[in-house]
Copies of this chain bind each other. A is one copy, B any other.
Amino acid sequence: MIGIETLSTNRAHGGVQGVYRHQSSATATPMTFSVFVPDHAPGTTLPVMWFLSGLTCTHANVTEKGEYRQACAELGLIFVAPDTSPRGEGVADVPDYDFGQGAGFYVDATEAPWSAHFRMRSYIEQELPALIAAAFPADMTRQGITGHSMGGHGALTIGLRNPDRFRSVSAFAPIVAPSQVPWGQKALAGYLGDDPAAWRAHDAVALIEDGARVGELLVDQGDADSFLADQLRPQLLEAACHAAGIALTLRIQPGYDHSYYCISTFLADHLRWHAERLG
């Protein structure tokens, strides 16, 4: 594939799990991502599911621990897992797990030094979809998006800003209102500056308050999630969706925590939900 380096391919669950790298113009760094493609008839295309990962993650976490391939093979879904930030020696960073490399928050940074490479909004919304469309058997008229924690924030905000592109939007334990919680306030101030007005396009609750609309949303949230009360606060999304007339299905899962053990339990169910809506 032109411009894409194949790092690995493995046959799995009746399809091919690949890991790829390319030179991103958005981030001006190499970027790694994974794609699972189920077996399909030659010349046909398949709907595309995007999975955006959370703080500290790369493409590898969900690729190894997500347990999505069997469902994708059954449903005929391509599954794309991008990285969560630019990385490398020439890329700005801090030692914090919740800011800098591994914590791109799916925004285009405007503040130095982050603005040089941290352009994950452009990467996820523009560059990587064009690459997927060109290099994989993808039907880009049928895309769904989901994600976990910071990636749930990414899925909700990107989905809300692009309702014509994503027919279905869901999330696992998302940061629903980054403007109102410590993780989000730190990241949005650091990448976008101190004026909270600039944050609203990157905050699902604020986007809904400002008029963004999707028909429905599916969110799973464990009640044993240690970040629930301070960082995630799904009741803020519930209130915003109620006021806006968005049909939110918020499932509080008893005993489940913030880990991939929760994601892997419910991801196949999300994929079925998306597949119904992607036709």
- In the bound assembly, the distance between CA atoms of A12 and B260 in angstroms comes to 9
Asked if residues A265 and B12 are in contact (CB atoms below 8 Å), the reply is yes
In angstroms, Cα B265 to Cα A261, docked, is 18
Q: Beta-carbon contacts of A251-279 to B below 8 Å, as 1s and 0s?
A: 00001110111101100100000000000
CB–CB A64/B67 < 8 A? no
**A213 CB within 8 Å of chain B:** no
Which residues in window 107-142 of A have CB below 8 A to B?
Answer: none
CB pair A259–B10 under 8 Å, yes or no, is: yes
Chain A, interface SS category: mixed
Q: Which residue of B lies closest to A222 (CB)?
A: B11
Q: Please give the count of copies of this chain that the complex contains.
A: 2
Q: Would you call A13 an interface residue if the criterion is a C-beta within 8 Å of the partner chain's C-beta atoms?
A: yes
Report how many residues on chain A are interfacial, defined by Cβ distance under 8 Å: 23
- Is residue A17 contacting chain B, with contact meaning CB distance below 8 A? yes
A65 within 8 Å of B by Cβ?
yes
**Per-position binary interface string of chain A over residues 162-183, scored 1 when its CB falls under 8 Å from any chain B CB and 0 otherwise:** 0000000000000000000000
Q: Within 8 Å of chain B (Cβ to Cβ): is A28?
A: no
From the candidates B10, B13, B69, B257, name the one contacting A257 in the complex (CB within 8 A).
B10
Contact residues in B for A261 (Cβ distance below 8 Å) = 10-12, 17
Q: Enumerate chain B residues within 8 angstroms of A255, measured Cβ to Cβ.
A: 11
Q: Which of A200-231 contact B (CB under 8 A)?
A: 222, 224
Smallest CB separation, A65 vs chain B (Å): 5
Residues of B within 8 A of A10 (CB): 257, 259, 261-262
Which B residues lie within 8 Å of A17 (CB)? 261
A11 touches B67 (CB 8 A): no
Most buried by B among A64, A67, A262: A67
Give chain A's interface residues, CB within 8 Å of chain B: 10-14, 17, 64-65, 67, 69-70, 222, 224, 255-257, 259-262, 264-265, 268
**Top 5 A-B pairs ranked by shortest CB distance?**
A12-B261, A10-B261, A11-B255, A13-B265, A67-B67
**24 intermolecular pairs with C-beta atoms under 8 Å apart:** A10-B257, A10-B259, A10-B261, A10-B262, A11-B222, A11-B224, A11-B256, A11-B261, A11-B262, A12-B261, A12-B262, A12-B265, A13-B264, A13-B265, A14-B265, A17-B261, A64-B65, A65-B65, A67-B67, A67-B70, A67-B264, A69-B264, A69-B265, A70-B268
